Amino acid sequence: MYVAVKGGEAAIANAHRLLADRRRGDRTLPSITIQQVVEQLGLAVDRVMAEASLYDRELAALAVRQARGDMIEAIFILRAYRTTLPRFGYSEPVDTATMKVERRVSATYKDLPGGQLLGPTFDYTHRLLDPSLIDDAAVEEPAVKEPGEHVMRVSDILDGEGLIEGDGRMPEGHVMGDLTREPMEFPMARDLRLQALARGDEGFLLALAYSTQRGYGRTHPFVGEVRIGEVEVELDLPELGFAVSLGVVRVTECQMVNQFMGSAKQPPQFTRGYGLVFGQSERKAMSMSLVDRALRTDEFSEDIVAPAQDQEFVISHADNVQATGFVEHLKLPHYVDFQAELDLVRRMRRDYDAARTGSQDGMKEAAE
Amino acid sequence: MDAKLKQESPPDMARKECMRLLARASFEELNAAWEALADKPDVSPVRGPETGLVMVRGRIGGGGDAFNLGEATVSRATVRLSTGEIGHGQLLGTDKQRARLAAIFDALFQRDANRAAVEALHRQIASRIDTEDRRTAEETAATRVDFFTMVRGDD
């Protein structure tokens, strides 16, 4: 029997009032503004945009502030917000070759057109806490230099020699899928997997990527290139008959180059994994590219021997909004379910005791 | 057919560039240009302004087949001037008033009488973007690694 239970309205209202108070914190301190979050916690904003799968820095900053800095809560809020908006259409694919590059490094070539551009990186810092930030010390203006030549894509360099597989092509007649419009089905095509990975949880993908490096589905990777910068987003306007620019978004792209595959029909060549993420997040883009490559088992006839190669396992568990929903729902009232379980275990205990007493009686009789 | 003809004609390249710049304009830039306009036509809304989503697509491997990367907020508006021209404004973000002003300037761009004023606004926007991009490129260039080969001790 299901018994509906009401109650707790006042407690819930007061809990949310308390949450608002704790979110604001000490009233003698100034409140942080959305622009301050955008400017000074930019990478938190980027992560929320990437995993909410919605590019809007102000809204993501608002979500970070509203969630008290709880990233998954912020992602959840922004993901929920996007469902309230109508879809105007699909953009033209962004062209990362024409990116306004703010950082580009390659681990495969030292000297390459465009050079190694470190950009605003944590790499090579000593990871020592910086006490000067406590007192808000003045910050130097960045150094400047005359810009060099066009930053060529590393995959194009290797491609010229035919030593690397081309950019990914889907089978003839394949219709591009959209996770936000169709339910998940397995096996899942690479375009849909990339959409799922692009909004997947950074920590989950990082752990899976790490597992491939430690031998669970090894792919022998090199970072061909990581690049960060702005790309233009264009939308086709049917009323005009051409595509117009809507502005620019910052993305991070990773071209992972992996060890060779060849066959009787094709000479050995490097294979590839691809990562593309909203905002500045090379950890996520690199993880995505490693997992993308690991998941391409069907294309290379690889045995599925590790979690990172199992697309149903990876894709079904990569979304942290779904994951947190299912894990966290356990704390909501389960009084009726638990009462039923309690009844069941009591009955089992009675049966157990009865059986034990019965058999002891039997043994006793046998001994006499 | 009609669309194809349009796409190839030079005036539409000018309009495309016009819309690209208007999408990058700040509210202040658009508003100041509107305030400075001598003979303002009446503007009536045709669609919006409204905010929605565009699914941003990428390409597998950077240049392969398309996949859906994630959505972005977009605001858009379509307006008609009292002189008959129709303008479209569409830009990233949730600022509907920016989208409406962009639509007005797209419409004004089609009027010979206002074209010079809109082009002046274009130059202002383009110059700001160029300055910003130039600055970023210079800052990035300063972080370029200059390798030098270590001379080995043995000969």
Per-residue model confidence (pLDDT) at position A360: 72
Contact A63, A52 (CB under 8 A): yes
Per-residue model confidence (pLDDT) at position B30: 96
Per-residue model confidence (pLDDT) at position A264: 73
Partner-chain residue, chosen from B54, B58, B71, that has the shortest CB–CB distance to A235 = B54
B77 to chain A, minimum CA–CA distance in Å? Answer: 12
Collapsed DSSP state (helix, strand, coil) of residue A203: helix
Per-residue model confidence (pLDDT) at position A101: 96
Is B137 at the interface with chain A, CB within 8 A?
A: yes
Question: What is the percent of chain A where pLDDT is above 90?
Answer: 74
Q: List Cβ<8 Å contacts ≥24 apart for B116-123.
A: B117/B33, B117/B36, B117/B37, B118/B18, B118/B33, B120/B33, B121/B21, B121/B25, B121/B29, B121/B30, B121/B33, B122/B17, B122/B18, B122/B21
Is B51 at the interface with chain A, CB within 8 A?
A: yes
Contact A252, A226 (CB under 8 A): yes
With a CB cutoff of 8 Å and minimum separation 6, the contacts of B124 are B29, B33
Per-residue model confidence (pLDDT) at position A149: 84
Nearest 10 degrees: CA dihedral of A354, A358, A363, A368?
130
Query: Over 80: is that where the pLDDT of B44 sits?
Result: yes
For A173-206, the pLDDT digits (tens) are 999 999 999 999 999 999 999 999 999 999 999 9
- What value does the mean pLDDT take over residues A33-44? 97
Nearest to B60 by CA among A299, A94, A311, A150: A94
For A61-108, the pLDDT digits (tens) are 999 999 999 999 999 999 999 999 999 999 999 999 999 999 999 998
Q: What is the mean pLDDT of chain B?
A: 90
Q: Please name the residue ranges forming H helices in A199-303.
A: 202-213, 282-294
Angle at A142 between CA A137 and CA A143, to 5 degrees: 135
Give how far Cα A324 sits from Cα of A73, A75, A93, A317, A330, Å.
9, 11, 31, 10, 10
Collapsed DSSP state (helix, strand, coil) of residue A128: coil
Query: Over 50: is that where the pLDDT of B7 sits?
Result: no
Is A75 at the interface with chain B, CB within 8 A?
A: no
Per-residue model confidence (pLDDT) at position A267: 83
For B93-108, the pLDDT digits (tens) are 999 999 999 999 999 9
Q: Give the span between the Cα atoms of B101 and A254, in whole angstroms.
A: 38
**Is the CB of A194 less than 8 angstroms away from the CB of B92?**
no
Interface test with A, best of B24, B143, B146, B147 (most A CBs within 10 A): B143
Kindly list the residues from chain B whose CB atom is less than 8 angstroms away from the CB atom of residue A117. Answer: 140-141, 143-145
With a CB cutoff of 8 Å and minimum separation 6, the contacts of A242 are A236, B3, B6, B7, B12, B16
**Is the CB of B7 less than 8 angstroms away from the CB of A244?**
no
**Is the CB of A198 less than 8 angstroms away from the CB of B20?**
no
Per-residue model confidence (pLDDT) at position A325: 95
Is A324 at the interface with chain B, CB within 8 A?
A: no
Q: From A198, which residue of chain B is nearest by alpha-carbon distance?
A: B69
Partner-chain residue, chosen from A85, A93, A166, that has the shortest CB–CB distance to B57 = A93
A328 to chain B, minimum CA–CA distance in Å? Answer: 25
Give A 18-47 residues with CB within 8 A of chain B.
none
- Report CA torsion sign: B94, B95, B96, B99: negative
Per-residue model confidence (pLDDT) at position B5: 45
Per-residue model confidence (pLDDT) at position B53: 98
For A225-253, the pLDDT digits (tens) are 999 999 999 999 988 889 999 999 999 99
Is B6 at the interface with chain A, CB within 8 A?
A: yes
Partner-chain residue, chosen from B61, B70, B76, that has the shortest CB–CB distance to A88 = B76
Contact A293, A271 (CB under 8 A): yes
**Is the CB of B59 less than 8 angstroms away from the CB of A174?**
no
Is A69 at the interface with chain B, CB within 8 A?
A: no
Is A191 at the interface with chain B, CB within 8 A?
A: yes
More confident residue, A171 or A231: A231
Per-residue model confidence (pLDDT) at position A349: 94
Q: What is the mean pLDDT of chain A?
A: 92
B63 to chain A, minimum CA–CA distance in Å? Answer: 6
Other CB atoms within a 10 A radius of the CB of residue A262 amount to 9
Per-residue model confidence (pLDDT) at position A112: 84
Q: What is the largest CA-CA distance in chain A?
A: 104
Q: What is the largest CA-CA distance in chain B?
A: 84
Collapsed DSSP state (helix, strand, coil) of residue A243: strand
Residue A305: phi and psi, rounded to 5, are: -120, -5
Contact B61, A168 (CB under 8 A): yes
**Is the CB of B68 less than 8 angstroms away from the CB of A102?**
no
More confident residue, A260 or A105: A105
Give B 65-84 residues with CB within 8 A of chain A.
65-74, 76
**Is the CB of B72 less than 8 angstroms away from the CB of A82?**
no
Continuous segment of H or E residues that includes residue B89: strand B86-92
Give how far Cα B124 sits from Cα of A285, B95, B121, Å.
36, 20, 5
Kindly list the residues from chain B whose CB atom is less than 8 angstroms away from the CB atom of residue A194. Answer: 58, 60, 67
Is A248 at the interface with chain B, CB within 8 A?
A: yes
Q: From A173, which residue of chain B is nearest by alpha-carbon distance?
A: B65
Per-residue model confidence (pLDDT) at position B59: 97
Per-residue model confidence (pLDDT) at position B1: 39
For A106-161, the pLDDT digits (tens) are 998 888 888 999 999 999 999 999 988 888 889 999 999 999 888 888 877 777 77
Collapsed DSSP state (helix, strand, coil) of residue A101: strand
Chain position carrying tokens 């010229």:
A160
Query: Over 60: is that where the pLDDT of B9 sits?
Result: no
Q: Which residues pair with B146 in a beta bridge?
A: none
Kindly list the residues from chain A whose CB atom is less than 8 angstroms away from the CB atom of residue B73. Answer: 54-56, 59, 85
Per-residue model confidence (pLDDT) at position A135: 87
